[in-house]
Amino acid sequence: MRKLLFEILVKPPLTERAPAADESALAELARALEQAARVRLGRSLAIRQVDAGSCNGCELEIHALNNAYYNLERYGLRFVASPRHADVLLVTGPVTRNMREALERTWNATPEPKWVVAVGDCALDGGCFAGSYAVAGGVADVVPVDLHISGCPPSPVALLEGLLSLLEETARVD
């Protein structure tokens, strides 16, 4: 035990290197998303995140959108606490049987126009949790899905690109 504690104290922490900063591309992507939201909705985009039973990997990437590096608030994109104020539901994880009704209620409480984005591979079809007695299925098995952002977990940039494509696609349909 003493040897293990000594190794922990002596060795440097094992961390990954930070990704190369491409702040101009990120800023341009966020500005395009803000502009698309203003054109489509006439205001900023309000996002409600719903964890339907995930492992929290996708949530970590979604929460990174609010950190100092991505800082979506500066572009007018914001996360809201109530589905009654949301335009987009970001749903993560396979829908567990316990969360099925909560997801349906959240979807029903969200005013029109509303979009559902299934985030991560588990949200598509249940991922590695598919077939479990506790899983009702993917998000599309419970509520209509407008966009799926793949990845395990998808990066914050992939999330921004997905939201931008959702707004641009719905603007073309209307």
DSSP state for residue 18 in the 8-state scheme: P
For every residue of 99-117, DSSP letters joined together read: THHHHHHHHHHSPSS-EEE
| Dist. CA 138–CA 126, nearest whole Å | 5
Predicted TM-score of the model (pTM): 0.80
User: In this structure, what is the dihedral angle of CA atoms 24, 29, 35, 40, given to the nearest 10 degrees?
Assistant: 180
Q: Which amino acid belongs to residue 43?
A: R
pLDDT profile of the chain (174 residues), mean per 10 = 79 68 76 81 86 90 86 82 93 93 94 92 87 90 93 89 82 58
Q: What is the dihedral of CA 52, 162, 48, 115, to 10 degrees?
A: -90
Q: Which of 109, 113, 131, 110 is nearest to 122 (CA)?
A: 131
